[in-house]
Structure 1
């Protein structure tokens, strides 16, 4: 940005609270001092130790304002600006603090920045002032409001093409640090969500350790960087589970193949839903299903923890959400898993926290319903209690599809038994007919409870000194294991009520609902006939 401004301005001023007023072009200091009626015999030796130009914000901004009013004759005879100003770490000058708790000097600085934005002379001259901050939410709200006349320009995280170009340059810069087992395009895809600074950090780490850059190093550094940047708010997931690890749910798998995976791979954004809500009882496999969709589609996957966004510090909650949403955009195409979305604590009705939850909720709704994200960001919400979610969050355009994930039927339970035995590499001599018998005896069990039952049978066999699990071990496990099936019926009913497309229901449930509808129609017809008699 500085190089662009040099061509059109005589004076480029940079300012921050630590270094004070500095100049990217040293000669610009002399020009400014002469224009303001000062003369300096020597240049400052260290940033922040200028003997003439003040460093404290209020005094420094007064000097900068005088510079903003300097003009020169333009081509058409009208005066034009000579000065451009870059204020770095703007959040340190005008933090997102409560006005009542700001010092007198901080309020003076805030007022000065507000005044510059509406000053006719500065606007007429066209003297630009750039306020630089890492997170917009860290800057005081009055400077972010629409009436401030300050335009917010979001600088996005580098996309895949930009990262690939930058990594190519880093390979030349760090020629002694080779890539091993990974290509530049592969590294560009793996580093989605990282800044240029983070990319160079990976090469520096490899250089210090005397090691090549490998995919393992990239994944480890990315995990550490994301954790330090976002804490528990956003987690990058590297799914290892695909549909072959999930028993049953064939109708749901087929839905995801047709409406999510294939459209994402083909770039068919029109077919891809903005979001998918997976309501259903606990333990039915909602989380593993969402991760498997990301694995099958081959795109990025992250988990957004809305419950961790709230912070006790003023402005921190908004900053947490803004950073997370910016990273999600950089990760696109991506699947965003929101677990226990009904317990996020965000809604339109929350008024006990000075409106913070309301503002966060509104920002989230705006992001989720932004049609520019269709086909690149797919939200997958997981919930046991959809009735506790705000209606605005559940509407089409945010969660277009609502797919109930219900306790498995007998045939699906037998399939889950097979998957769990294979998952844990449990030796067994169980026949298909025996698994079907056990499946029929586990009516109402969820996938998580079947998993616990299989592990219990394995423990029984191991305690008996037997390597292979047989039917007797499963029968014993079935006798002693007590499933936590409480509330499953209620959660199943809520999930069914939430479904907005009968094609998304298991065949058995679809038939039951059709029967109920037919009965209701007959009852209505009989009622009308009685009234006419």
Structure 2
């Protein structure tokens, strides 16, 4: 049965099946989507399964207790009024008819209790974000109804609608309740909703566009989906895909734990790192692009990548470019907003982030500085530590979930600080080192940021030299001076050269500007050498593909000095250097 024309009622059916099996007469639906709430009300009032119901009560903290009725336009709530027992003159003056509306939760629970026990009754509780037990007795009532023989035998049911059961019930109480996570929206529901709204607004929308919109709106609930479609129409008089993606990004950002970002770069915008590009293209991009063929050979799709290495070596940029190469959304997990000072909120934030990310997947979920999740201590010393351990466990469970749709790309500057659970087999398919670029890679990185890489989206810098002359100058003069520079520092070098040219009011950046910019850096080469050795040791520990590791070490220049590379490259090519795909 489909309710509302396009709404899937399987989540309601699942709860009712549990009710018929006498798991519990109390069911909690984890949703606050107005369309889902209306769907449940309509189902209760129109379904044959509830034809013998005596009363349908509904409680909202703002409206108080009411009776749910069916009108020609749909479900409506009529205020429930209770006759006062007191016959004092004062009561008569205050309420001449002797009736009073119930607002207080404890009074509401007491009033509905007798109906649930005496006759077949449905009680819906909505918009409840908290319930102080000492004031309301809410959890005590839930536990009592869940095991009450009269409530069970006469077929009464209690439906609770909330964003998260943990916010209003402790673990003990949750054991008495059937908790149903509700899918924000299925692919088919979004398609049907797009078609329905398009028909109402008379917006042309063929099957191809409908499918594009359904994919773009994945992860949002039905109310959010409809709101974005309507706002796009108000802005553009159409369902503009770019506008809809921007509106969705703004909406997801309000969660504070996820951000949807459009991938800005491709592999052609990254200089050097050919070994990493080749490895990722071969074992990740090709498998994702040809997933049916991979499944035919029994190859599992990659679900997790760990990028590790010193700061500024392009890990975040590479993750962004990977999303472009495989044409997937790029979702940023805002780890600093996961943790909260309020007890229970950190776990809820993590749960919400995982749920939302999965609904928007397949996608690249980027987790920067994954070591922020810490390590297992074995002993939780206090509620804050318990909350940290809970978040850690949630993330590990997500990483190890074989049905996970999200492709998690994590980065860390300090892989030695990661808990062993992160690095064991089954969590991340591949662990890829990003070391300081070697001489050839540094040349290519500089050429990219000067705008000379073919296929790159980066703008060309005004230079006093041509392409070949610039490449030769960089190879001879700049590359030997930038040993152990990070990619970020090479980009900054180009920026400083542009500032120098700007300050002297020149028309273009000169050789001298580049040399001056290079000399402004203060690099602790002894420290960098120790970092390189440490990174190589970590690469040998975490990277189990020897051919890949050998290629990385060779490319990063660990096998020869910059002077040797300069001599060999000069002899090998008297013309322009190959910048490769970067």
Partner of residue 416, structure 1: 445
Counterpart of 2:177? 150
SS in 1 for 2:183: coil
Partner of 1:469: 509
Work out whether residues 288 and 326 of structure 2, in 8 Å CA contact, stay in contact via their aligned partners in 1: yes
Q: Is the 8 A contact 2:118 2:150 kept in 1?
A: no
- CA drift at 1:487: 4.8
Task: Return 497-506 or 333-342, whichever deviates more.
Answer: 497-506
CA spacing shift, 1:149–1:50, aligned 2, 3 Å:
farther
1:166-181 paired onto structure 2 within 5 Å = 166-175=193-202
Residues 305, 345 of structure 1: CA spacing in aligned structure 2 closer, same or farther, 3 A cutoff? farther
1:224 is paired with a residue whose SS is helix
| Match in the other structure for 1:427 | 462
Range with greater deviation from structure 2 (425-434 or 477-486): 477-486
Does residue 255 (structure 1) correspond to residue 255 (structure 2)? The answer is: no
Aligned residues of 2:540 and 2:549 also touching (Cα < 8 A): no
Distance 1:206 1:477, change over 3 A: closer
Q: In structure 2, do the counterparts of structure 1 residues 164 and 498 end up closer, same or farther at CA, with 3 Å as the change threshold?
A: farther
2:364 to 335, 354, 364: 335
User: More deviation in 243-252 or 268-277?
Assistant: 268-277
Aligned residue in 2 for 1:359? 390
Change in CA separation of 1:454 and 1:356 when aligned onto 2, cut-off 3 Å: same
Matching of residues 274-423 of structure 1 within 5 Å: 274-345=303-374, 347-348=376-377, 351-352=381-382, 353=384, 355-373=386-404, 376-422=405-451, 423=458
SS of alignment partner, residue 23 of structure 1: strand
Q: Partners in 2 of 1:325 and 1:336 — Cα distance?
A: 10
Residue 473 of structure 1 deviates from its aligned partner by 2.8
- Compute the RMSD of aligned alpha carbons: 3.3
2:491, 2:526 → 1: CA distance? 17
* Residue aligning to 1:482: 522
How much has 1:452 moved relative to structure 2? 1.1
CA distance, structure 2, for counterparts of residue 215 and residue 372 of structure 1: 29
In 1, the alpha carbon distance for the partners of 2:140 and 2:163 equals 22
By how many angstroms is 1:462 displaced? 3.2
CA contact (8 A) 2:249 2:261 kept: no
8 Å contact from structure 2 (residues 361, 406) kept in 1: yes
Deviations 1:14-66 (A, max 9, x none): 22222233333269999xx9xx9x9xxxxxxxxxx994663322222233232
Q: CA deviation at 1:124?
A: 4.0
The residue aligned with 2:36 is: none
Q: Against the structure 1 CA distance between its residues 285 and 514, is the aligned structure 2 distance closer, same or farther, given a 3 Å change threshold?
A: closer
Aligned pairs for 1:2-17 (under 5 A) are 2-5=41-44, 6-9=47-50, 10=53, 11-17=55-61
Go from structure 1 to structure 2 and tell me whether the alpha carbon gap of 1:486 and 1:17 turns closer, same or farther (over 3 Å shift): farther
> Residues of 1 paired with 2:98 and 2:550: CA distance?
74
Report the counterpart of residue 245 of structure 1 in structure 2: 269
**Contact 1:137–1:318 (CA<8 Å) still a contact in 2?**
no
> Does the C-alpha gap of structure 1 residues 52 and 465 become closer, same or farther in structure 2, counting only changes over 3 Å?
closer
- Contact (CA 8 Å) 2:195, 2:205: kept in 1 or not? no
Contact 1:348 1:390 survives alignment (8 Å):
no
- CA contact 2:374–2:418 (8 Å) conserved in 1: no
Q: Distance in 1 between matches of 2:519 and 2:114?
A: 85
1:498 CA drift (Å): 4.3
For residues 447-481 of structure 1, what are the alpha-carbon distances to aligned partners after superposition, in whole Å with 9 as ceiling and x for unaligned? 11111112222233333443333433322322233
Write out aligned runs for 1:86-101 (5 A): 86-92=124-130, 94=131
Mean CA deviation greater in 122-131 or 382-391: 122-131
Tell me the alpha carbon deviations over residues 270-296 of structure 1, each in whole angstroms, 9 at most, x when there is no partner.
433331111100000000000100011
Partner of 2:25: none
The alignment status of 1:214 with 2:249, answered yes or no, reads no
CA 1:418–1:358 in structure 2 vs 1: closer, same or farther (change >3 Å)? same
In the TM superposition, 1:104-119 aligns within 5 A as 104-106=134-136, 108-119=137-148
| Superposed displacement of residue 322, structure 1 | 1.5
**For the Cα contact (< 8 Å) 1:417–1:454, is it kept in 2?**
yes
Q: CA deviation at 1:485?
A: 6.0
Q: 2:482 aligned with 1:439, yes or no?
A: no
Instruction: Indicate if the aligned counterparts of 1:279 and 1:382 stay in contact, CA closer than 8 A.
Output: yes
Instruction: Name stretches of at least 5 consecutive residues in structure 1 with no aligned partner.
Output: 39-48, 72-81, 95-101, 516-533
Deviations along 1:229-271, whole A, 9 cap, x unmatched?
Answer: x12x211111110100001111211222222222223334743
> Does the Cα contact within 8 Å between 2:68 and 2:76 map onto a contact in 1?
no
Q: In 1, distance between residues paired with 2:149 and 2:377?
A: 39
Deviations 1:183-241, CA, capped at 9 Å, x for gaps = 3322222223222212222244345557444234213322221122x12x211111110
Q: Alpha carbons of 1:115 and 1:419: their partners in 2 closer, same or farther (altered >3 Å)?
A: same
Match of 1:18 in 2: 62
Query: CA offset at residue 313 of structure 1?
Result: 2.0
The 1:458/1:249 distance shift into structure 2, 3 A limit, reads same
Q: 1:63 aligns to what?
A: 111
* 1:513 to 1:443, Cα distance in 2 relative to 1, 3 A: closer
User: What corresponds to 1:264 in structure 2?
Assistant: 288
The structure-2 alpha-carbon separation of the partners of 1:159 and 1:354, relative to structure 1 and needing over 3 Å to count, comes to: same
Give the Cα–Cα distance (whole angstroms) in 1 for the partners of residues 284 and 167 of structure 2: 36
Q: 1:508 to 1:240 in 2, by over 3 A?
A: closer
**For 1:206 and 1:60, how far apart are their aligned partners in 2?**
42
Offset from partner CA, 1:333-368 (integer Å, 9 cap, x none): 011111111234564456341511111111111112
Relative to 1, partners in 2 of residues 1:498 and 1:302: Cα closer, same or farther, differing over 3 Å? farther
Conserved? CA contact 1:307–1:345, under 8 Å:
no
Query: Which residue of 2 is the match for residue 200 of structure 1?
Result: 226
What is the alpha-carbon distance in structure 1 between the residues aligned to residue 164 and residue 209 of structure 2?
Answer: 32
* Structure 1 Cα separation of the partners of residues 140 and 552 of structure 2: 66
The answer on whether the counterparts of 1:53 and 1:60 sit within 8 Å (CA) in structure 2 is no
Number of residue pairs matched by the alignment: 473
Closer/same/farther in 2, CA of residues 448 and 217 from structure 1, 3 Å limit: same
Moved more, 499-508 or 481-490: 481-490
TM-score (norm 1): 0.80
C-alpha separation in 2, matches of 1:514 and 1:384: 19
Q: Distance in 2 between matches of 1:301 and 1:51?
A: 57
